[in-house]
Amino acid sequence: MIRYICTIIISLFLMSCSGVRGNVASLQTSLEDFIRDKDARIGVAVIINGSDTVAVNGNEQFPMLSVYKFPIALALAEQYRTKGLSLDRPVAMLPQDLHTNTYSPMTEKIIASSQLSTDTLQISTKELIGYMLQLSDNNASDIALREVNGTVEVDRYLKQLGIKDVHVRNTEDEMHKDNTLCYANSSTPLAMAALMDKFDRDFNDPISLDIKQLMETCATGTERLAKPVLVANAVLGHKTGTGFILPDGRIMAVNDAGYVHLPDGRRYSIAVFIENSGYDMAQTEAIIARISQIVIEYTLRNCL
């Protein structure tokens, strides 16, 4: 009798989970309703537990801005794994690598230490990736891109992973000189969410774990995806991207993409791209935070 009752309880639980699992349409509707009247072009993609997928404008291309530093880091990590190299390996820098007219906390620190005039500038690869992912350092990104042998190699690696709609075309220096090139470094929300999901689930070697630790302590975008995620005591590993102010005063792009681990062990990946925003920075970041809140509240109240 007890076994019979337990079987019924388990069956009802599984039926309940199954019913809610098929109810991702409610999340789709919530996201569509929220985005519909916004004065910006917005793309969102969410992949829950590696399977349930929800997207709004998910197959459209958006400029990544500094989100593109994430695939650069993955391509560099793959080269190090293939060659048996450690992230402790030093990377040489030249003074001409350290542009002072761009965002680069790494360069500011080197200048402050009076090392810029030396011929032996070096930094460990882990430090370089840390500057690139945690602080979105532009010079660090271009040095990492050079180490990986350029944008063609990053694109080749992404295709090897099965990620076809993330395109890495230009360096930060090139984008700084010609802002229109920012649009060439593009991704669909679905492709970026898939890349985040694949990295989160399938890459657990020592180098990847180091990268995850860096992403989970990211210092940028605290008012974007992170805001509701941290309140829920969940873990977020992510990379942000921010564009230029356009001549008409609108913001080119404000982005955030990452993976989330809930306290109960469930996980999801998420990409939010906002292009041509008619709002100020705080308001645009608040849109990302609200989308993040909609998603995490949905996953916390549903059995997936």
* pLDDT over threshold 70, residue 72: yes
Token digits of residue 222: 């605290």
Q: How far is CA 49 from CA 165, 236, 238, 268, in A?
A: 21, 15, 17, 5
Q: Which of 11, 51, 66, 117 is catalytic?
A: 66
Residues 276 and 40 sit within 8 Å (Cβ to Cβ): yes
Dihedral, CA of residue 143, residue 144, residue 146 and residue 151, to nearest 10: -130
pTM, rounded to two decimals: 0.91
Listed in order, strand segments (DSSP E) in 94-169 are: 121-124, 166-167
Instruction: Give catalytic status of residue 141 as yes or no.
Output: no
pLDDT computed for residue 117 by the predictor: 59
User: How high is the mean pLDDT of the chain?
Assistant: 91
> pLDDT-based confidence at 112, cuts 50/70/90?
confident
Q: Tens digit of pLDDT for each residue in 230-288?
A: 999 999 999 999 999 999 999 999 999 999 999 999 999 999 999 999 999 999 999 99
pLDDT above 70: residue 79: yes
